[in-house]
Amino acid sequence: MSVLLHLVEPAAWRAALDAGAVRPPSLAEVGFVHLSRPDQVHLPAARLYPGRRDLVLLVVDPARLTDPVRDEPGVPGDPASMRFPHLYGPLPVTAVVAVVPWLPPRTPALPRPDDALGRALALQLSLPVRRSPRVDDVPGGVAVSDPRYAHSHEDNRVLLIDPVDADTVEAVVTQVATERAWPAAVATLRWPGAGPVAAALGRRGWAVDETLVMARTGPVPVTDDHRTEVVPQHAVHDLWRASWRHELAGRADLDDVVADLVGREQGNDRVVAVHDVVVREAGRVVASGQLRVDGATASVEAVLTDPGYRGRGHAGAVLDRLLALAEGAGCDLVVLEATADDWPRHWYARRGFTEVGRSWTVVRPADPARPAPRTSASPYVGRPPQVGATTERIR
């Protein structure tokens, strides 16, 4: 059976992540949750949310539903012969294998439940879109902008989903960056086989980072290591600040950049469930990692250790706790991104993560006299904590 879809407002989905299930008003009113097949979803979207582009599609694996699904007529105005799937019970968040922004007229990419790369890309693409105050269509994808965090590449960039050539990338990203007054022109190339386009841009002077998309399935390690704890995110901020200050030492705008890179993180928990894990020594946070849960898919982010506390197993303890949290949340897939030309990818591979795909991020500063900083498609992740507090370059 193909995937089923449920269109929902982002706030309702975020509440469902805490509650464990989606319970729309229809469940109490008529006893079921309205679902659609991919060729039907435009009908309820046009009827219930005309002109809206701030919604999300929940991609549901019907095999994970425990309550019955019945094909029944829609509402007056739907084609008379068309039958819609109705779920006679709440929609468990663990049956949702991907959450995709609804951006008509763009046709959404709907990953299969067994498509690890598709699910990983859906999460990594949709998170910046869902938290962004401004999303614009561009050839091949969308541009996200957030002037509150002007120095964050994560929040001010072009996300390219469909194949385009190097000339198009350069023209589109340069135009958007100029119009939005970004400090740098940034694009992430997410379609399979985008490497030659990224290489062509590199020959034109763009800084290029190749990133591995890695995924892990199966049981998590059983450990009795009690050194980790789950904490409010503010408990990790000092470690993050120290990491960024070390990484970006010498910049005249260091305080502003670090404030943006730390401050932006508060936006994630508004759209997905975020769990921050730390290790302390003498009461001080010396290692941390973050898990972002979005239905049945989770991502590992922000893993780092203070350089003075390396070699004590803190990295493995943090990662094991993150994986256990993902399992406890019912996630069957955990993903992350790792820099392709650095050794940490091997560290993750030894812990069960395998490469399922690649992406490329290209950067050119607004001021050509200033060298383009190396970037990475995801903040922090890619360098395990043994590297120390210097984790990723400017984002």
Q: What is the DSSP secondary structure assignment for residue 48, as one 8-state letter?
A: H
Q: Tell how far CA 387 is from the center of its chain.
A: 23
The first and second tokens of residue 228, run together, are 């980790």
CA dist 105 and 36 (Å) reads: 17
Please tell me the predicted confidence (pLDDT) of residue 368: 53
- The type of residue at 385 is P
Q: What is the pLDDT of residues 118-127, one digit of tens each?
A: 999 999 889 9
What are the angstrom distances between the C-alpha of 274 and each of 217, 232, 294, 328?
A: 20, 10, 9, 14
Choose the weakest-confidence range: 245-249, 320-324, 381-385.
381-385
The mean pLDDT of 348-371, rounded to a whole number, is: 85
Look up tokens 């469902």; give the residue.
16
pLDDT above 70: residue 380: no
Q: How long, in residues, is the chain?
A: 395
Cα separation, 61 vs 42, in Å, equals 19
CATH topology of domain 115-395: Aminopeptidase (3.40.630)
Q: What percent of the chain has pLDDT over 70?
A: 92
Q: Residue 25's pLDDT is what? A: 95
What ranges do the domains of the chain cover?
4-113, 115-395
* Rounded-to-integer distance, Cα 83 and Cα 74, Å: 6
Picking from 145, 68, 166, 84, the residue whose alpha carbon sits closest to that of residue 362 is 166
What is the per-residue burial (b if ≥16 Cβ within 10 Å, else e) of 317-347?
Answer: bbbbbbbbbbeebbbbbbbbbbbbeeebbeb
Biggest alpha carbon distance in the chain? 69
CATH of 4-113, one of 3.40.1050.10, 3.20.170.20, 2.60.120.430, 3.30.420.10: 3.20.170.20
User: Is 50 exceeded by the pLDDT of residue 302?
Assistant: yes
